[in-house]
């Protein structure tokens, strides 16, 4: 029975990770390039995302995902955002736009 409980915990944990809808989790991996508060030019080339409006951020992210937006290094962002649903993109965009 103990084993079963452990397996259940692991499965629930994995599922909640996959369906993570909290902004902090969704943006954790962005910090390495964009800075913890999105105040850096990622890899020296992106715009500073901090200060952008939520709609602009969501549009850029959806565009990267669809392959319809971006500059010379858009492939980098496509890889970052490809696994995000539109809903997760909206959550991320609102969160970043609200950063002080």
Q: How far is residue 29's CA from residue 9's CA, in Å, rounded to a whole number? A: 24
Q: 46 Cβ partners below 8 Å, 6+ apart?
A: 33, 34, 71, 73
The residues that touch ligand HEC, with contacts defined as CB under 6 A, are 27, 29-30, 32-34, 42-43, 45-47, 49, 57, 60-61, 70-74, 76-77, 80-81, 92
> Closer CB to ligand HEC, residue 76 or residue 99?
76
Contact 30, 60 (CB under 8 A): no
> What's the closest the beta carbon of residue 83 comes to ligand HEC, in angstroms?
9
> Closer CB to ligand HEC, residue 12 or residue 39?
39
């Amino acid at each position: 029975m103990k084993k079963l409980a452990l397996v259940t915990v692991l499965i629930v944990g994995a599922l909640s990770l996959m369906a993570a809808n909290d902004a902090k989790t969704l943006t954790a991996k962005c910090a390495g390039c964009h800075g913890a508060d999105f105040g850096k030019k990622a890899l020296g080339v992106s715009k500073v995302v901090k200060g952008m409006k939520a709609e602009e951020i969501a549009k850029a992210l959806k565009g990267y995902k669809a392959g319809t937006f971006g500059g010379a290094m858009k492939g980098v962002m496509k890889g970052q955002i490809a696994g995000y649903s539109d809903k997760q993109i909206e959550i991320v965009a609102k969160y970043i736009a609200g950063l002080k």
